[in-house]
Amino acid sequence: MKDGRTAVGFCLLVLGLAAITLSEDKKPKPGPLAGTWECVAHASEGDEPFTMVLKQSQQTVRGTITTPNGTLSINSGSYKEKVLEIRVEEGNIHASGKLEGRQLSGDWSKGEGNQAGKWECKVSTEVTR
């Protein structure tokens, strides 16, 4: 009987220590897109520089896009299998791009698809991992 109580006590001690270790305030590591990106959108009217500031939590991406005309919020964004998809409600903008190393590139469209082109970005400030 005493051996049974000792074994139960030992198990409770181990579980308690594991719970304390697991409950430490560990911040999740930022995803590979977290940071500031310097970008260029290519269109038939010419190139337009813009800056994206992205925050990433697992597959969810949020942030802002700043152009010479102002700042827009990314209303929805996802990152799966090295592909970023973002939507900006203001201006009905959709962009998708692939991450290769520390560069993003892909396609964008605005409105009902009547404006479209390519875009590319390079990370300028990474969030420390």
Interior angle at CA 51, CA 102 and CA 88, nearest 5: 105
Q: How confident is the model at residue 14 (pLDDT cuts 50, 70, 90)?
A: very low
Would you say residue 19 lies in a domain?
no
In the numeric block, which tokens belong to residue 19?
């719970």
Would you say residue 20 lies in a domain?
no
Would you say residue 68 lies in a domain?
yes
Query: Which residue did the predictor score with more confidence, 83 or 113?
Result: 83
For 84, residues 6+ apart whose C-beta sits below 8 A from its C-beta are 33, 61, 77, 78, 95, 96, 97, 98, 99, 104, 106
List the CATH number of the domain containing 45: 2.40.128.120
| Residue range of the domain that includes 86 | 35-126
Query: Which residue did the predictor score with more confidence, 84 or 127?
Result: 84
Would you say residue 25 lies in a domain?
no
pLDDT score of 26 more than 90 = no
Would you say residue 64 lies in a domain?
yes
Number of structural domains in the chain:
1
pLDDT in tens, 44-84: 989 999 999 999 999 999 999 999 999 999 999 999 999 99
Query: Which residue did the predictor score with more confidence, 27 or 46?
Result: 46
